[in-house]
Amino acid sequence: MSDRKDVDFGPLSGLLGVWVGDKGLDVAPDPDGAENNPYYETITYTEIGNVTNAESQCLSVLHYRQIVQRKSDNQVFHDETGYWMWDAKEEMVMHSLVIPRAVCVLAGGTYTGAKNTEGSVIMAVAANIDDKNWKIIQSPFMQENARTISFCQNVTVGSGKLSYSETTMVEIYGKVFEHTDQNELILQ
Ligand code: HEM
């Protein structure tokens, strides 16, 4: 790893900092169907810097921690951490995440400069258990009982605003469930 000064984080640059948002909506699996959980959260992105692999690949890396609380009882009901990585040469964005259900995801996508009308960066990453590169790892219990089969996420960031939507497809209770989360956050 190198000095953090002068690192170009590319499309990830706008993520750095502490974000809060209270417009979250989670749709999660429930034995009787689905549960809807309005939520608020804090996401903190910090610099790691440049990371070099095999003396040829150079990644610009951020670490993040996401703490999500249910509005109904203020309990933390989702705790996630991981890294966002930018490979400028390949124009590739990567998102590795772990959640304390013994599920890990490495999602990726290309970024070639997509922006919305306000100039905010729009990034998309995805993973699938059958994909060659972007995969999901999970415990034997989760494989058997609550298997994540895909994950996709869209993130828009710029001008002090961050919004995301993500869909996690989970095989649970005898069917495939579309587990979704979305929120809008403001930079502190
Ligand atoms: C803001 C983000 C998220 C929130 C608020 C959230 C919340 C929830 C909730 C409330 C449940 C129902 C079970 C329970 O009450 O604990 C659940 C289940 C589950 N979530 Fe998430 N989740 C989020 C993101 C994710 C992500 C990113 C993954 C994996 C890539 C994931 C994987 C799962 C799985 C596999 C289950 C099934 C386990 C079960 O219901 O027993 N979730 N989630």
Q: How far is it, in rounded angstroms, from Cα 143 to Cα 125?
A: 22
- Ligand 1 centroid, distance to 6 Cα (angstroms): 37
Q: Which residue has the least CA distance to atom 4 on ligand 1?
A: 78
Q: Ligand 1, closest atom to CA 153? A: 27
77-114 pLDDT per residue, tens = 999 999 999 999 999 999 999 999 999 999 999 999 99
pTM value > 0.95: yes
Q: Is the CB of 95 under 6 A from ligand 1?
A: no
| Beta carbons within 8 Å of 173's beta carbon, 6+ residues apart | 29, 31
Is it the case that residue 3 has pLDDT exceeding 80?
A: no
pLDDT of residue 27: 98
| Angle at the Cα of 93 from the Cα atoms of 166 and 65, rounded to 5 degrees | 60
Q: Is 6 exposed, middle or buried (0-12, 13-18, 19+ CB in 10 A)?
A: exposed
pLDDT of residue 24: 98
Q: What residue type is 51 in one-letter code?
A: V
Q: Which residue has the least CA distance to atom 1 on ligand 1?
A: 181
Q: Is the CB of 87 under 6 A from ligand 1?
A: no
Q: Is 102 helix (H, G, I), strand (E, B) or coil?
A: coil
SS3 string, 6-41, reads: CCCCHHHHHHCEEEEEEEEEEEEEECCEEEEEEEEE
Q: Ligand 1, closest atom to CA 70? A: 5
Q: Is 67 helix (H, G, I), strand (E, B) or coil?
A: strand
- Ligand 1 centroid, distance to 76 Cα (angstroms): 12
Q: Is the CB of 172 under 6 A from ligand 1?
A: yes
Nearest-CA neighbor of 184 among 6, 74, 25, 33?
25
pLDDT of residue 2: 55
How many of the other CB atoms lie within 10 Å of CB of 160?
13
Report residue 6's pLDDT band, with 50, 70 and 90 as the boundaries.
confident
pLDDT of residue 4: 58
Average pLDDT over residues 161-173: 98
